[in-house]
């Protein structure tokens, strides 16, 4: 029986390691308020935004934009005006691991 428990423990460790690597690969995600998100949009050189429209009556619009090695994340009821010249990727779902 001890070998079965050992195998299960090894599998669990592998899963936890994989999750940890995925979180590291995603970089640092910083959740901000709408006004701060708009400030980042105004100064970023990477003109790319991922946007996920709100779903349902109580849903929130979600946005992510890269800036200086970070990803800034906004979840808000109101739409954000994306400045001219940005490429907008419409996401089916945005998953925030935090």
Number of folded domains that form the chain: 1
Residue 6 located in a structural domain: no
Residue 13: inside a domain: no
Cα 70 to Cα 14, 28, 76: the distances in Å are 27, 5, 19
- pLDDT tens for residues 55-64? 888 899 999 9
User: What's the average model confidence in pLDDT over 22-29?
Assistant: 65
Are 42 and 34 spatial neighbours (Cβ–Cβ below 8 Å)? no
pLDDT value, residue 3: 47
Residue 79 belongs to some domain of the structure: yes
Domain that holds residue 41: 28-90
Domain CATH number, residue 59? 3.30.720.90
Question: Is 53 among the domain residues?
Answer: yes
Q: Is position 43 within any domain?
A: yes
Q: Is residue 84 part of a domain?
A: yes
Residue 1 included in any domain: no
| E strand segments, the chain | 28-31, 48-52, 61-67, 70-76, 87-90
> Is 70 exceeded by the pLDDT of residue 24?
no
Q: What is the pLDDT of residue 69?
A: 87
Tokens 């800036």, located at residue: 67
pTM above 0.85, yes or no: no
Distance from C-alpha of 45 to C-alpha of 79, rounded to nearest angstrom: 22
């Amino acid at each position: 029986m001890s070998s079965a428990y050992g195998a299960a423990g090894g599998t669990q460790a592998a899963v936890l390691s994989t999750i940890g690597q995925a979180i590291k690969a995603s970089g640092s995600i910083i959740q901000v308020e709408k006004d701060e998100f708009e400030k980042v949009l105004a100064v970023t050189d990477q003109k790319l935004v991922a946007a996920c429209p709100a779903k349902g009556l109580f849903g929130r619009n979600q946005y992510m934009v890269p800036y200086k090695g970070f990803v800034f994340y906004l979840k808000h009821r109101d739409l954000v005006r994306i400045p001219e010249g940005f490429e907008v990727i419409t996401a089916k779902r945005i998953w925030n691991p935090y």
